[in-house]
Chains A and B, each alone.
Chain A
Amino acid sequence: MTDREDKLMRAARGLATGISPARDLWPGIEQAISAPRKSRWSPMLAQAAAAVLLVGASSLVTYVAVKYDAGDTPAQVMTAAAPQGLIFDRAAFGGEDTLAAVYGRAGGNIGSMLDRELASLSPEAREDVERNLAVIRRAIEEIATALEKEPDNVFLQELLVEAYSNELALMNRIGSMAQRVMARRDI
């Protein structure tokens, strides 16, 4: 450090650290802290979040049960049931809802394959899949509605990603499940 810089550093210690704001900032703070805290969990949103979790678990159980029934070992089934390339970056929509379009394309591709292959499943499995998909899609609609009001809410963004991810994962699994059923030679 040069002499000049050394003097600067000593002078900096003399700069005022306490500076009074030109106006009293307390009224704004008081107003904010006395307002009743808005719960992020509206009953509808709580239901949507629960549906996302429940259907995610339920679709996995359906998948494992049907695959196990089809002759795979539980270990093989669980390995295959791991997320299949569904890796998403942390949501940062910044008010622009482009996620729906991206998922719409991905979902559309898998969806057309799903429609063809659902027909090859048993009526019970098909009904179960369709019921789960309906619940996820209802949850997606509710979360998307809430996001319109609070576009920067990270919690809602993550919940929406999770819901879309569950929907795609379910559709993807059923697609590959149906293909395996079709490929079997023992039935």
Chain B
Amino acid sequence: MLLAARFSDYSSRMVTLERPAFTEEADCIAKAQQSDAKAFERLYRMHVDRVYGLCLRMTGNVSEAEDSTQEAFIQAWNKLHLFRGDSAFSTWLHRIAVNAVLGRIRKSKREQDRIQVAVEQSSAPLATADTGDMRDLSEAVDRLPEGARHVFVLHAVYGYSHEETADMLDIAAGTSKAQLHRARRLLAQQLTEQGFEA
């Protein structure tokens, strides 16, 4: 009886702890879908850090990450009426952010001057929350070749499955696995030379 009461108490606390965040997000989505910019700003505040983090780790460049983040939220606003809740809002937003990053990279490749600027800017270490060995790992990830870096960031850092990663990057799941293998090998080589202790 006591145990049941405790369980009931625990589960009700779980509900009260989790529901506000969920309902606030759902509420903001519903209002933003009705063109409420204030509600969309609240969604932006809830998700900007993870979206920016994803863009920063994918591009390895602060200004490209800022532009990609802004572009992602603008596209999200324009496509918000298409969001039906089939996936988590954060997943939907990440997918848009990945597309924004890939779009900018494709565009940059057509503009040689921009690539030069990006290379110069990316030589500086990124401002992330990582410290010590994790900072070494973070910087090693930034130095990975583009394809391997994208897969590593989505799969190993953000926890998406190979199928989800492949879908976001518009590549085959097998390619995602191969790129992850390549990323792991390159990172191990780099970090061994630096004496990284995971």
Taking beta carbons and an 8 Å cutoff, which residues of A are in contact with B? Answer: 1-2, 4-5, 7-23, 25-26, 28-30, 32-34, 94
Contact = CB atoms under 8 A, between A and B. Distances in A.
28 contacts: A2-B188, A4-B198, A5-B185, A5-B187, A5-B188, A8-B184, A8-B191, A10-B198, A12-B137, A12-B141, A12-B152, A13-B157, A13-B159, A15-B57, A15-B157, A16-B128, A19-B56, A21-B48, A21-B65, A25-B48, A25-B52, A26-B45, A26-B48, A29-B74, A29-B77, A32-B74, A33-B37, A34-B37
Contact of A20 (B52, B130, B156, B188): B52
A14 B134 CA distance: 8
Interface in B40-89: 40-41, 44-45, 48-50, 52-54, 56-57, 62, 65-66, 69-70, 73-74, 77-78
A57 to B, nearest CB: 32
B184 A1 contact: yes
Given A8-B198, A20-B49, A26-B41, A15 B74 contact: no
Interface residues of B, number: 44
Contacts of B69: 21, 25
B138 interface: yes
A115 B128 CA distance: 69
B10 interface: no
Contacts of A18: 49-50, 53, 129
Contacts of B7: none
B52 A33 contact: no
Given A13-B159, A32-B70, A19 B184 contact: no
B14 interface: no
Contacts of A32: 70, 74
B6 interface: no
A22 B61 CA distance: 13
B130 A15 contact: yes
Interface in B119-138: 127-130, 133-134, 137-138
Given A9-B156, A33-B74, A94-B110, A19 B49 contact: yes
B23 interface: no
